[in-house]
Chains A and B, each alone.
Chain A
């Protein structure tokens, strides 16, 4: 195909997206669109899969059967979300094995928030409330993104995500209405998860390299800073309701802008964690790689069994 032809196809393609038409896997698409989507969707899928680890840590130690059932269901949902997203990603012509390989080799990233440890039960509350809360803010606009399989996966994910946030908030609420020690646990969890949750919404607009192109392709509807402001505005009143304090001395309501002003985010910490130097990067990756490697014989056995049965059927038929 000549360069002129490609340019022409690209223009038609961009116009389709501008008209809110969806792009489906077999449609022609610019190579950059394909690669950007593989990167973003796989990163999203990896985040769901690694995201199971910090919470899986507490399933056996949940304080009641009710809490245990809910947490188990939430972690199972995350596995499901990872699977929807991997499937969507595979429609772009990359195999599941390649995707795993990128995760396991460290070539692909996942959300940095999962590199923080979950040291008390209150962390299950804070994660549901804050981390899932921030994730919902990120994800809702993606239900309308231009790539059909991604948009459809996100519709399903968003439907399921609101239970996650509510179960987290309920944990926080119970702790905050409990003993002094329990309330202190909730405050401690908020102290540790607040800033990483703000970082989850991505680098500031000035630092964000993908924003403009992503807006065009509807991978993004609002900038990182807008999303962050939205998250803060909706979460601070919830902290007030819980009766715990957001760990930011500069946080205050701004009557003029109608938003909360907030303090400086420690972006050095963010980049350190992204680069692999967070408290749990190694632990998460080891757990994931071990799970994959230790499960290999099970996958092989299942495949061997399936092949044996298929051969039996062929033998019977002939």
Chain B
């Protein structure tokens, strides 16, 4: 007799319409991927909210740690030269 396992957690991503990216909609429990898709259809798209669904078992997602947001994201803050407004050009230059 194997140890009893509960239905794992899945993260649900839905594309609202073609041309838009899949967006995280929420999560749900299901025994397998196929059931996760079926449940996601019923839980998250009862009113035509989507044309495509992705399901990913939650344990497969690796997330950054907000406590390390400093090291992670601050280096981008002092690189103003990555933005077009950093460069001074004479007004005569149009369309640039």
Contact = CB atoms under 8 A, between A and B. Distances in A.
How many chain B residues sit at the interface, stated as a range, is 20 to 34
Interface in B16-66: 26-29, 31-32, 35, 42-43, 46-47, 63, 65-66
Interface stretch (B1-9, B71-79, B80-88): B1-9
A96 B29 contact: yes
B66 to A, nearest CB: 5
Interface in A194-217: none
A267 interface: no
A28 interface: yes
B20 to A, nearest CB: 17
A90 interface: yes
Given A80-B46, A97-B6, A306 B31 contact: yes
Given A80-B43, A87-B26, A87-B28, A303 B67 contact: no
A6 interface: no
B26 A299 contact: no
B26 A310 contact: no
A306 B42 contact: no
Contacts of A76: 42, 46
Nearest to A88: B26
Given A80-B43, A303-B4, 9 more contacts: A76-B42, A87-B27, A96-B29, A153-B26, A299-B31, A302-B7, A302-B35, A306-B32, A306-B35
Interface in A127-141: none
Interface of B: 2, 4-7, 9, 26-29, 31-32, 35, 42-43, 46-47, 63, 65-67
Contact of A80 (B2, B42, B63): B42
Interface string A12-53: 000000000000101110000000000000000000000000
A26 B7 contact: no
A80 B25 CA distance: 13
A26 B65 CA distance: 7
A27 B6 CA distance: 27
A77 B43 CA distance: 8
Nearest to A84: B26
Contacts of B31: 299, 302-303, 305-306
SS class, residues of chain A in contact with chain B: helix
Contact of A77 (B2, B26, B46, B63): B46
A294 to B, nearest CB: 17
A120 interface: no
Nearest to B27: A87
Contact of A83 (B6, B28, B47, B66): B28
B7 A303 contact: yes
Contacts of B32: 302, 305-306, 309-310
A300 B4 contact: yes
Given A28-B67, A83-B43, A303 B29 contact: no
Interface string A42-81: 0000000000000000000000000000000100110010
Contacts of A28: 66-67
Contacts of B47: 160
Contacts of A302: 7, 31-32, 35
Contacts of A24: 66
